[in-house]
Each structure stands twice: as C-alpha cells, then as structure tokens.
Amino acid sequence: MTSEHQQWHQLKQNYLKCVEQALASVDSPKTAEILSDVAEHLENKYADLPPEQRTWEAFQQIITEMGPPQEYAELLSEEAPAAKKAIFGINEFLAVVFVVVLMTVGGYMIYNAKKTPPPEPVSKTVEFELDEQVLGKWVTVDFVKTIDEFNPARKTWQGKLFLLSLEFQDNGEVRWQAENRKPMMLEWTKGKIEPFDKRPSFYYLRNIDGQTYLFYEWVSGDVTLRGQEPYYYVLKKEE
Amino acid sequence: MYVDNWQTQLRKGMLDIVILNLLSHGACHGYEMVQRMRKIEGLKIREGNVYPILARLQQEALVESETRPSTDGPPRKYFKLTDSGGATLADMNSHWEQMIDSIQHIRKGDFL
C-alpha cells in the first residue's frame, strides 16, 4: 500500500469509527447500512481524486465535507436538534474526540512523512511471496456472484465491466486498471491483493475447459461492513 | 455566528424535503444525489448528511432502495420514492409554499 493510500485508509477508518460511535447513541437498526453507505461514498470520493491530488490536505477536505459524526445521530433521530440537552453531552464529547483523533493522526503522518524513506513496493506487514502462475497481464471477461456461476460460454454480467485488467509484477506490485480511472499500483502477495491490515482481496485460479481463469474478489463496503459475500471479477491471461 | 448556526439548523430541517424532491425526478444512488445537490447554489450540504436522512425516510416507508447494475462499477444501491413518499412529498411541498408565502407577508408587513 502506498503511503498516500495508507494515510487515506487510516483517516477513513477513524472517521467511520467516530460515526459508528455517534450512531450508537441512537441505537438504530439502520446503523450498519448507514456505515456501509458512508464507506462506499468515501471510496468514491477517493477514486474520483486524480492521483496527483491525493494529498493529506485533500483527504482532510473530503472528511470535513462529510460533516461531523454527531450530525449523523441527530439526523437519524426523530428528536429535533434543538431538543438535545444544552450541557456538554455525548455528541459534544464525540466531536472533541473526532477533532483530537484527526489532529493526532494528521500530526503523526506529517511527522513521519519527513522521516520515513520512500515506500517499498511490498508492505512491511506482509512478507512478499511470489506466485509465478499469476505474473503478467490479466484482462477481465466477466463479473459473477460466485465462482461456480461463471460459464465461459455465456457472459453473466450484462453491463460494462468496471475493472479492466490486473498486471502482476514480480516485485510485489500489481497494476490495477479500471474504466475511466487512472491506473493504480497496489501491493500483492501470493493469494491476495492489499489491503493486508484489513480485509484483503483474495484471488483464486481455476482451470475451466482447459483455460486458466483468475477470480478476483471485489471487496466493497457491503463486504467489510455488512458481512456480505464478495462478487468476483473473472480474468483471463492476455494473449 | 448566529446566522451560521441558524443556517445549519435550517439546512438540517430542509434535507428531508430536498431529498424527497430530488428523488421525485427519478431514482438515484447516494453519491450521485450528493453530486447533484452540490450543484445547487446556496444549498451547502454536508455530504454525509444524506445517509441518515435516507435511512430515516426508509424507516418511514417514504423511500425504498434496490440494487441495480452500474455502468461504471459493481451493482449500486439506488433510492426511489414510494407511493406513500410521493403523497407525503406533495403535502410537504404544499406546506413549504404556504410557509414561504407567510414569511413574505410578514416581511412586507401585510399583517400590520
């Protein structure tokens, strides 16, 4: 994971945690759904940022534009904001926590940005293990709900395929190319693609009718926050 | 400062009617909804605000969600008005117009 991606990931997770804590005061059955929607929204915001604009300041701006975590609880509750108690309560406390966390993470990141060497291609948390079978470029041919659903003779996904290709390199980097997006370099090791400190995207190789296919998990907010099973992109080696 | 606080409270109170009116023009997903709202001059929303509002509107059965294929990625959750939502919106819009009208009368001093 690049240092910018790490910064974004940490900032995003901290924000989601604060929102979750704020929503705990409302105790709504919709909490998980809201967190999933917000996580997906944040992922879209990050994806829409051109790579050269993926800076700490830009990430903070995204979080600021999302609004303070306590507002989620206020808006979800049927009780009007004016009816909340005027003394320093849980929402005010969470606002302070949110600001302190933001400043602490920000300060830590800025302090370390000047000291740490340029990021190496392989994450320090996972030892890179080469998988020679996947080296090279794979192009997407389908998008399926389960591996068993895939049929080489009949395309399952009727829409456009968002992920276009994965190109695995022997230095632990994989070139991730999607529709209308600039390519990204992610880290990989045998069997999975980053993030390694959270839920990685696992890949599986299957030989079907004499052809090897790579099944790549699409790990969205529905998977990480709502516990749903991931869909799979199906890729074939580029000839 | 006072105006800023008042604007914040006004914005929060308006979000329901804003979102319902947006959805009256067709179903859309959360991110798209926020992008449309950002284009409206003077609205100044906090992007995360739409999600708890949408959750509450779903609980009230004024809005429902469905997963649809997306042209630029995996399936997305789309929100749309229910029949009950449409009827409620008509009511809300009527109340809104009455309120605007009343404020205009007060500003002009018509009640004096």
Number of residues written out for chain A? 239
More confident residue, A104 or B5: B5
**Residue numbers in A near B75 (CB within 8 A):** 231
Percent of chain B with pLDDT over 90: 63
B20, burial (CB in 10 Å: exposed 0-12, middle 13-18, buried 19+): buried
Stretch 107-136 of chain A: residues touching chain B, C-beta under 8 Å: none
Query: What are the structural domains of chain A?
Result: 3-113 (no CATH), 132-237 (2.40.128)
pLDDT at position B6: 83
Of A23, A68, A220, the CB nearest to B74: A220
Percent of chain A at pLDDT exceeding 90 = 32
Query: Is the confidence at residue B95, as pLDDT, over 60?
Result: yes
CB proximity B54 to A under 8 Å = yes
Please give the distance of CA A29 from its chain centroid, rounded to a whole number. Answer: 24
Domain ranges for chain B: 2-108
Q: A202-226, pLDDT tens digit by residue?
A: 999 999 999 999 999 988 766 776 6
Give this prediction's pTM: 0.57
Report the gap between the CA of B112 and the closest CA in chain A (Å).
30
CATH topology of domain B2-108: Arc Repressor Mutant, subunit A (1.10.10)
A74 touches chain B (CB under 8 A): yes
Asked whether the beta carbons of residue B46 and residue A37 sit closer than 8 angstroms, the reply is no
Residues with Cβ within 8 Å of A3's Cβ and at least 6 positions away in sequence, in order, are: A113, A116, A119
Report which residue type is found at A75: L
B48: DSSP letter: G
Range with the poorest average pLDDT among A74-88, A123-137, A154-168, B26-40: A74-88
Is A76 in Cβ contact with B54 (below 8 Å)? no
ipTM over 0.90: no
Kindly report the nearest CA distance between residue B104 and chain A, in angstroms: 25
Q: Residues A167-184, buried b or exposed e (16+ Cβ, 10 A)?
A: bbeeebbbebbbeebeee
For residue B89, what pLDDT is reported? Answer: 96
